[in-house]
Chain A
């Protein structure tokens, strides 16, 4: 499986965010998008997830199920955590895993991010880092080959960052792909880098 973008362009809010952008990520590989604020890192991720219209170029996920769109094979982890404060931790995760997939591995996913101890707590009482971990649990509960991570380490403590790095390593080891936007190292051993907007 291979995600290839060639000559991509994005036009948002009346301005050209980027154009002529090309990249390729193979199975088991991670690509980290770097660059200053506002250069279009998040826009690129949203574009791949199908949440922003592509104004030019070609994007394809080679060797994937032709019945599914790229968005349906990708996990998008954005700045917003898509959690409902009045639902418990388990209810939040169970909903997403049933809505996005088959919904079988919720307990294992909660254990993987270390939230199994507070499974019955309403999400309103979670800290920012715990909310982030619950969002990450979604990636574990449903298997999708492509992970789109927008600053995945934000709000996470050191232990949780190490946990996330291990989870990302497992995903890559299983032939997954990661496209991440970040400002610094996110714990991957030797990711490829894509710099937007010239020198940092």
Chain B
């Protein structure tokens, strides 16, 4: 247990120190969402209608930005070799790495969403709904991205490849994330229906992502 705690502390520390990239994702999110009102124009009704989708797309792209650092950096400096020789289950190791990654890159997106909702003319209940769906959806994005990061770990500059591999897998999460947000704002479906499916997708991604990542890492070693 102490080994996993040490790993968690290290990964969080690395993310928040200089060059760690914890802020990159949230700054990118901020910029993308800020650009939208400029592109669409001051049509408040339209902004409110597409707002949840914009917030979700921004969060999705922002979460992709930091994925290439998740495992590749440990591979480049030899840390991954040592991680594989530790008496710690690899599945637990990758799960802890993903949790630390979500805490430093995913959670800030959730916290920034209500603020950005103001720019998109979202009512407070709508903003709350989007933030809630992001809270459930971003862990799913992190764990799905983890699989892509593991598959491309041995490739130099595999960052763009990660995005290409991972984006199609995130489509269901995006659909139900936006659907749940819209259900809370305009209906006619109850919020709980798409939201339950989103929760299910998140739980599935966490389980499948953890095991698939560990399997990919074992095969990637050469």
Tell me which of A76, A84, A102 contacts B82 (CB under 8 A).
A76
Judge if A28 is at the interface, Cβ distance under 8 Å. no
Q: Is the CB of B78 within 8 A of A99?
A: no
Q: Is the CB of A71 within 8 A of B18?
A: no
Q: Is the CB of A50 within 8 A of B84?
A: yes
| A135 CA to B87 CA, complexed, in Å | 19
Tell me which of B17, B20, B79 contacts A82 (CB under 8 A).
B79
Q: Is the CB of B3 within 8 A of A98?
A: yes
Query: How far apart are A5's CB and chain B's nearest CB, in angstroms?
Result: 17
Q: Which residues of chain B are within 8 angstroms of A72 by Cβ–Cβ distance?
A: 85-87
Judge if B7 is at the interface, Cβ distance under 8 Å. yes
Interface of B is mostly: helix
Tell me which of B2, B18, B222 contacts A12 (CB under 8 A).
B222
Judge if B44 is at the interface, Cβ distance under 8 Å. no
Judge if A91 is at the interface, Cβ distance under 8 Å. yes
| A94 CA to B86 CA, complexed, in Å | 14
Judge if B88 is at the interface, Cβ distance under 8 Å. yes
Of all chain B residues, which has the CB nearest A142?
A: B86
Q: Which residues of chain A are within 8 angstroms of B14 by Cβ–Cβ distance?
A: 84, 86-87
Name the 5 nearest CB pairs between A and B, nearest first: A80-B78, A98-B6, A86-B17, A82-B78, A71-B85
Of all chain A residues, which has the CB nearest B80?
A: A82
Q: Is the CB of B81 within 8 A of A86?
A: no
Of all chain A residues, which has the CB nearest B4?
A: A99
Q: List 22 A-B contacts (CB under 8 A).
A: A13-B222, A51-B221, A52-B221, A52-B222, A68-B87, A72-B85, A72-B86, A76-B81, A76-B82, A79-B78, A80-B77, A81-B77, A84-B79, A86-B13, A86-B14, A86-B18, A87-B13, A87-B17, A95-B7, A98-B3, A99-B6, A99-B82
Q: Which residues of chain B are within 8 angstroms of A100 by Cβ–Cβ distance?
A: 3, 82, 85-87
Judge if A18 is at the interface, Cβ distance under 8 Å. no
Q: A95-B6, A99-B83 are in contact. Are A83 and B19 (CB under 8 A)?
A: no
Q: Which residues of chain A are within 8 angstroms of B85 by Cβ–Cβ distance?
A: 49-51, 71-72, 74, 76, 100
Judge if B157 is at the interface, Cβ distance under 8 Å. no
Write out, one digit per residue, whether chain A residues 41-52 have a CB within 8 A of any chain B CB (1) or not (0): 000001001111
